Amino acid sequence: MIDTHAHILPGLDDGAETMEQTKRLLEKAVEEQLTGIIATPHAFHPNFQTNLAALKKQLELVNSYIAQEQLPLKIYSGQECRLSDKLPERLLAGEALTMAGSRYVLLELPSSGIPAYTVPVIQQLITSNYVPIIAHAERNQGIIEKPERLKKLLLHGAMAQVTAGSVAGSFGKAIQRTAMSLIDANLIHVYGSDVHSLDKRPFLFNEGLDYLEKKNQHDMVDIFLENNERILLDEHLHVLEPEDIRKGKWWNIFA
């Protein structure tokens, strides 16, 4: 299984602070049966300025440790890119990283809402052959208030990611309900932990999947895990047509 959102590289942002913390997170990832993790330290966040050279150095350090310990796991490069009108040109200039070197960009909206320039940025990203994936869409206040706002962004070519902890209920019942309503409406395509630490923001990867299974969302579990793999392969993502959920009919959103 692949985790598409993790703050696991040491000393870069508000995730793991030390290599020792990273090592403990890696041990937990193996327990969760994760085989790959896309490391997504913040890019262009007002509170965190991640240096790409430092990011690449830490990524190499962590993967060297994994090889040394013979862990059945690999860490891939990526960033959680804060929305800005400069984002498309910054990506094209190599100032930020896509997810595992693919066309997919993990896009972070301000938690308070959806800025007016969000759609133009999404359109510019699509024109530049990137596909934005909106991180933790269920925790955006604007989407919580009006879920159809997310649908509008998807109609312009974006995808959306849900956080495992939101599904598992660790952010509270209200966010859990929003997460499930978005999943029920087929507005979510990708699944990630957004792990920061073992205590304050753990993986909860399997807990979220178990909750989905409990709610008879077996098809969505399959889609999420399949799409997570497809990001690594830089392949088109798949979703289910709303009217054919029970039939299990797949369709290509890019067709």
Give residue-wise pLDDT tens across range 39-81.
999 999 988 888 999 999 999 999 999 999 999 999 999 999 9
What SS3 state is found at 149? helix
CA dihedral over 160, 165, 166, 168, signed as positive or negative: positive
| Alpha-carbon distances, residue 44 vs 11, 12, 70, 109 (angstroms) | 16, 13, 34, 11
So what's the pLDDT on residue 50?
A: 83
**Is pLDDT of 222 > 70?**
yes
Confidence of residue 196 (pLDDT cuts 50, 70, 90): very high
pLDDT for position 240 = 61
Residue 252 clears pLDDT 90, i.e. is over it: no
Name the CATH architecture for the domain at 2-252: Alpha-Beta Barrel (3.20)
Distance CA 253, CA 59 (A): 32
pLDDT above 50 for 99? yes
Q: Report the pLDDT averaged over residues 114-141.
A: 97
- pLDDT for residue 8 is more than 90: yes
Q: Output the six-digit token pair for 199.
A: 């205590």
String of DSSP letters for 125-140: HHHTT-EEEETTGGG-
Confidence band (pLDDT; 50, 70, 90) for 253? very low
> What's the mean per-residue pLDDT of the chain?
93
> What distance in Å separates the CA atoms of residue 191 and residue 5, rounded to the nearest whole number?
8
Give the 3-state secondary structure of residue 230. helix
The confidence score (pLDDT) of residue 255 equals 33
On the question of pLDDT at 137 being above 90, the answer is yes
Report, as an integer, the average pLDDT of 205-228. 96
